[in-house]
Chain A
Amino acid sequence: MADVAPEQNPLTAGLGKTAIPDPCTLVIFGATGDLTRRKLLPALYNLALDGLLPASFAVVGFARRDWTDETLREVARDGSEKFSRRKPDPAHWADFESAVFYVNGSFEDREAYPLLQKRLEEVEAARGIPGNRIFYLSIPPSAIGTCVANLRAAGLVRRQEAGQPFSRIIIEKPIGHDLASAVQINDEVAQVFDENQVFRIDHYLGKETVQSILVNRFANSIFEPLWNQKYIDHVQITVSEEEGVGTRGGYYEEAGALRDMVQNHILQTLCLTAMEPPWSLGSEVVRDHKIAVLNCLRPIPAREVDKHVVRAQYGPGFHHGVEVPGYRREDKVRPDSTTETYVALRVFVDNWRWAGVPFYIRTGKRLPKRASEIAIQFKSVPPVMFNTDAEAPLEPNVLALRIQPDEGLSLRIATKLPGPSVRIYPVKMDFRYGSTFGDQSPEAYERLLLDVMAGDATLFMRRDAVEASWKWVSNILDAWHQSGARWLPEYPAGSWGPVEAERLIEKDGRWRIP
């Protein structure tokens, strides 16, 4: 009989807002790394506890170290003990860990892949998994090409065909270190996987509050009519970190703040803030609307980079009262490094909606606190009636969407202080997810892994978006490279950045304290 099409399952309709994925195996390359222990396995455990994993599921770790199934299971338990939002429950742990397997091999070794294939077939047969596979590449970007080529050579991957088992691949950011390397990686992947099989993961986009940007904008009728150049003075996007580079000095020396944060997290956040209303929540529709924003970003020509972009390095200073070294004194950092740990930009989105509205972006390490927010500053009221004192103008309205910590939103409005005279004071209406909903948000990786299993690519970066982002930041990187600077402005660790950043924004006001 064939009255129910393979892609249809009436019994899963209406089970909840969360899609129920088909049975599958998640294969983690680089399974002995920290990400697997701290994020991936705890996320999978939480999904299992919530009954959101497919009925038949397995996770197969693949890495060079001489581990066994048991070793990876111990790592899973240890990681879940330490990093999961829910600790291992003895009643359920055994069922979860029975789905965890390990294959020993190097992703560079072609001979290891047939062994992986054999083990996958055994696991799939034993657990009733019809060959659906997701390959999570938690490996250096430079190794992606080798890995996917070996996957194809061993026959582990199949192209997408209706009714056939699926093969999907998850690649982590950074996708390359510039446009050319990103194109190269994408080309290598495209030789093996169709674009709709590729999920470029950025955990930042899985955060609840990043996802809620679209809800705030398009599920409330009061914001959208004001969301344009007529009413908005400027936008500030801040992603600040308290920590220095710590043990990641080697990586950071090659990356810097522009590559590490702006090219991916921040430009994606800007897209969600600036995009036109998509006509559906279909992944391609949303991603089409995001790329439209990237295509409207005004390029910053080399001669204007210093006018629109500020870069700096943290010097010695104090973090929570404790003296900390400057960037050049950090481990694995060159003493004459010119890698930026802070960047501030003035960006324009050249379309009808945003013409002339500056987007101020800043991100940095060793800033006073960890915070991510998007602040929409509205235009001031006219200088009549309540706003006639040029020495003390009214504070403009600000809508701040906080991504972390204290996820939520606040709206600054002017109000009258009680009393016989008219005294106006800015007050903040504040909504916090944590206070209202309690601490029940799933971790970003839970949402993202589930989306991959369900084939929903909305929160993942499409190839054109990755390359458009790189293309836009390449102007800046090239200008910096050509400048041959041997010194960057310094800001004291624990401060809000260099004075040059204040000058960048002073025409439109000042940086907010998030």
Chain B
Amino acid sequence: MSAASAAEMGRGVDVASIERELAALWQPTGDAAEQQQPATRACMSNLLIYCETGAAANEVAGEIDPIVQQHPSRVLILVSEDSGGGREVDAFVSATCYAGEGGRRVCAEAVTIYAGAAPERRLPATARPLVIGDLPTALWWTSAQPAVLAGDLFRELASMSRQVILDSAAWPDPLLGLAAMARWSSSAAGESELSDLAWTRTHPWRSALGQSLAPQSVPGALGSIRRVDIEYGASGTSGALLVAGWIASRLGWEQLSARATRGRFEARYRGRGGEVSVAAKEIAAPTGLQSVTLAWDESDEPRTLALRRMQDDRLGVIRGAGAPHHVRPLGERGRAWLVARELADLGRDRVFHEALQASRRLVDGS
């Protein structure tokens, strides 16, 4: 079964009694208790979710179920807006339940906290005592404002968290945001691990590129790439930048020049086999990466490998011209699935950090 979201079922409570109210969620009461299976509380981590508005919180509340089913957590939704309840801080508690193994009812807790005034002080202060000790804490920053540009509120919440999850694809100015995020990441290394859902979405592309260019299959290709072309649709700028940064950093290219503007970026690198040019442009397409094409020479013969987004959530691998040589599932999922996937991975993604820094250099042109 899937329970209603926090927003739908949340019970308004006094902030000081949130923990007591959460405990009460697990006490069977009345006739319903006799009819229902006892619930098992599952909790692997604390998940702080920052939302700028109540509308954003309502949207997030609808994504809690799939997240906690994959990664049971105590969820604290922190909203920097008044709830309309007339108090400085308003809180609502709820449980979200699902059918676990053998039909057992497994539940996770959610608390939604609203603070319109001085949220940078009230939200962290309200959340701090609700964080369960001995469990990892993650911050999911849903705001369209790049987290690192949000000042004290982000710094306070990030300081409580082992992991910070954000989605640069949602930022109105991804060039500015990515560069700021890269600087923060390099300065805060070791304190909070950064995860960008835009990077996570590129995983199938990176996996397909890595496999398709395996030295055993295409000897010499990785060392003689001379051109990379990327096309992306709406919200695809940061994914394209990160893929470009990833290729450059993995292959050890040295940046010679770069220019990035809205809807287009270009760069020149010195690769091991000579100069490499990278060009990316936005095209009229609904979302994300659309194609990545690499060109190289093999015995003075030009060779290309293209990855192209196909219908029905598929990715075509095209060698040279013509029809896809190989088609594989793209496996794109909603952001709730991506968040749950990131929550499960507590390690530092060194490859991402290197790609991020290479992307920053591309944006900075230095």
Return the chain B residue nearest A434 by Cβ: B101
Taking CB atoms, residues of chain A closer than 8 Å to B172 are none
A220 at the interface (CB under 8 A from B): no
Taking CB atoms, residues of chain B closer than 8 Å to A13 are 250, 351
A15 pairs with B210, CB closer than 8 A: yes
A51 at the interface (CB under 8 A from B): yes
Taking CB atoms, residues of chain A closer than 8 Å to B70 are 437-438, 440
Q: Interface stretch among B125-133, B183-191, B218-226, B234-242?
A: B218-226
Taking CB atoms, residues of chain B closer than 8 Å to A5 are 215
A194 at the interface (CB under 8 A from B): no
A-B residue pairs in contact (CB < 8 Å), sample of 22: A3-B273, A4-B215, A4-B222, A6-B216, A10-B250, A10-B251, A11-B213, A11-B250, A12-B211, A13-B250, A13-B351, A51-B207, A51-B328, A53-B328, A55-B217, A56-B212, A91-B313, A128-B217, A165-B216, A434-B102, A435-B40, A435-B101
Other contacts beyond A49-B329, A127-B325: 12, CB < 8 A: A10-B250, A10-B252, A11-B206, A15-B203, A15-B210, A50-B331, A55-B208, A55-B217, A127-B326, A128-B217, A130-B217, A132-B216
Interface residues of A in 408-447 (CB under 8 A from B): 432-440
- Whether A9 contacts B210 in the complex (CB less than 8 A), given A127-B326, A435-B42, comes out as yes
Taking CB atoms, residues of chain B closer than 8 Å to A130 are 216-217
B209 at the interface (CB under 8 A from A): yes
Chain A, 148-166, contact with B by CB distance < 8 Å: what is the 0/1 string?
0000000000000001010
Interface residues of B in 303-338 (CB under 8 A from A): 312-314, 317, 319, 325-329, 331
Taking CB atoms, residues of chain B closer than 8 Å to A406 are 101-102
Interface residues of A in 1-43 (CB under 8 A from B): 1-16, 20, 22-23
A22 pairs with B210, CB closer than 8 A: no
B314's contact among A95, A435, A436, by CB below 8 Å, is which? A95
A48–B328 Cα gap in the complex (Å)? 7
B259 to chain A, nearest CB (A): 25
B323 to chain A, nearest CB (A): 12
A2 pairs with B203, CB closer than 8 A: no
Taking CB atoms, residues of chain B closer than 8 Å to A54 are 211
A49–B328 Cα gap in the complex (Å)? 8
- Whether A11 contacts B209 in the complex (CB less than 8 A), given A1-B273, A92-B314, comes out as yes
Chain B, 231-270, contact with A by CB distance < 8 Å: what is the 0/1 string?
0000000000000000100111000000000000000000
Most A C-beta atoms less than 10 A away, residue of B203, B350, B351: B351
Taking CB atoms, residues of chain B closer than 8 Å to A9 are 210, 213-215, 222
A3–B224 Cα gap in the complex (Å)? 9
A92–B331 Cα gap in the complex (Å)? 10
A1 pairs with B220, CB closer than 8 A: yes
A14–B246 Cα gap in the complex (Å)? 11
- Whether A20 contacts B211 in the complex (CB less than 8 A), given A1-B223, A436-B42, A438-B100, comes out as yes
A274 to chain B, nearest CB (A): 29
Q: List residues of chain A with CB under 8 Å of any chain B CB.
A: 1-16, 20, 22-23, 48-51, 53-56, 89, 91-92, 95, 127-128, 130, 132, 163, 165, 406, 432-440
Taking CB atoms, residues of chain A closer than 8 Å to B40 are 435
B223 pairs with A2, CB closer than 8 A: yes
Taking CB atoms, residues of chain B closer than 8 Å to A165 are 216
B215 pairs with A95, CB closer than 8 A: no
B20 at the interface (CB under 8 A from A): no
A438 pairs with B69, CB closer than 8 A: yes
A3 pairs with B223, CB closer than 8 A: yes
Interchain pairs with CB closer than 8 A, number: 137
Taking CB atoms, residues of chain A closer than 8 Å to B272 are 1, 3
A16–B211 Cα gap in the complex (Å)? 13
B4 at the interface (CB under 8 A from A): no
Interface residues of B in 17-43 (CB under 8 A from A): 40, 42
B250 pairs with A15, CB closer than 8 A: no
Most A C-beta atoms less than 10 A away, residue of B101, B208, B273: B101
A5–B84 Cα gap in the complex (Å)? 63
Return the chain A residue nearest B352 by Cβ: A14
B313 to chain A, nearest CB (A): 6
Q: List residues of chain B with CB under 8 Å of any chain A CB.
A: 40, 42, 44, 69-70, 72, 100-102, 104, 106, 203-204, 206-217, 219-220, 222-224, 247, 250-252, 272-273, 312-314, 317, 319, 325-329, 331, 349-352
A409–B252 Cα gap in the complex (Å)? 46
A471–B317 Cα gap in the complex (Å)? 51
A6 pairs with B211, CB closer than 8 A: no
B210 pairs with A11, CB closer than 8 A: yes
Most B C-beta atoms less than 10 A away, residue of A4, A91, A440: A4
A360 to chain B, nearest CB (A): 28
- Whether A128 contacts B106 in the complex (CB less than 8 A), given A22-B214, A55-B211, A435-B42, comes out as no
Taking CB atoms, residues of chain A closer than 8 Å to B69 are 438
B327 pairs with A95, CB closer than 8 A: yes
B204 pairs with A51, CB closer than 8 A: yes
Report the 9 A-B pairs with minimum CB-CB distance, sorted nearest first.
Answer: A434-B101, A14-B351, A55-B211, A11-B210, A91-B312, A12-B210, A3-B223, A1-B223, A10-B250
A377 to chain B, nearest CB (A): 26
Taking CB atoms, residues of chain B closer than 8 Å to A128 are 217, 319, 325-326
A469–B135 Cα gap in the complex (Å)? 42
B219's contact among A6, A89, A434, by CB below 8 Å, is which? A6
A130–B72 Cα gap in the complex (Å)? 44
Taking CB atoms, residues of chain A closer than 8 Å to B44 are 436
B317 pairs with A55, CB closer than 8 A: yes
B327 to chain A, nearest CB (A): 4
A22–B314 Cα gap in the complex (Å)? 21
Taking CB atoms, residues of chain A closer than 8 Å to B100 are 434-435, 438
A23–B222 Cα gap in the complex (Å)? 17
A353–B225 Cα gap in the complex (Å)? 56
Taking CB atoms, residues of chain A closer than 8 Å to B222 are 3-4, 9-11
Taking CB atoms, residues of chain A closer than 8 Å to B329 are 48-49, 51, 89, 91-92, 95
A421 to chain B, nearest CB (A): 26
B328 pairs with A55, CB closer than 8 A: yes
Taking CB atoms, residues of chain A closer than 8 Å to B106 are 435
A89–B314 Cα gap in the complex (Å)? 12
Taking CB atoms, residues of chain B closer than 8 Å to A433 are 101
- Whether A8 contacts B203 in the complex (CB less than 8 A), given A1-B223, A1-B224, A3-B272, comes out as no
A397–B224 Cα gap in the complex (Å)? 62
A23 pairs with B216, CB closer than 8 A: yes
A513–B314 Cα gap in the complex (Å)? 49
A183 to chain B, nearest CB (A): 35
A14 pairs with B350, CB closer than 8 A: yes
Taking CB atoms, residues of chain B closer than 8 Å to A438 are 69-70, 100-101
Taking CB atoms, residues of chain B closer than 8 Å to A440 are 70
A200 to chain B, nearest CB (A): 25
Taking CB atoms, residues of chain A closer than 8 Å to B317 are 55
A442–B351 Cα gap in the complex (Å)? 26
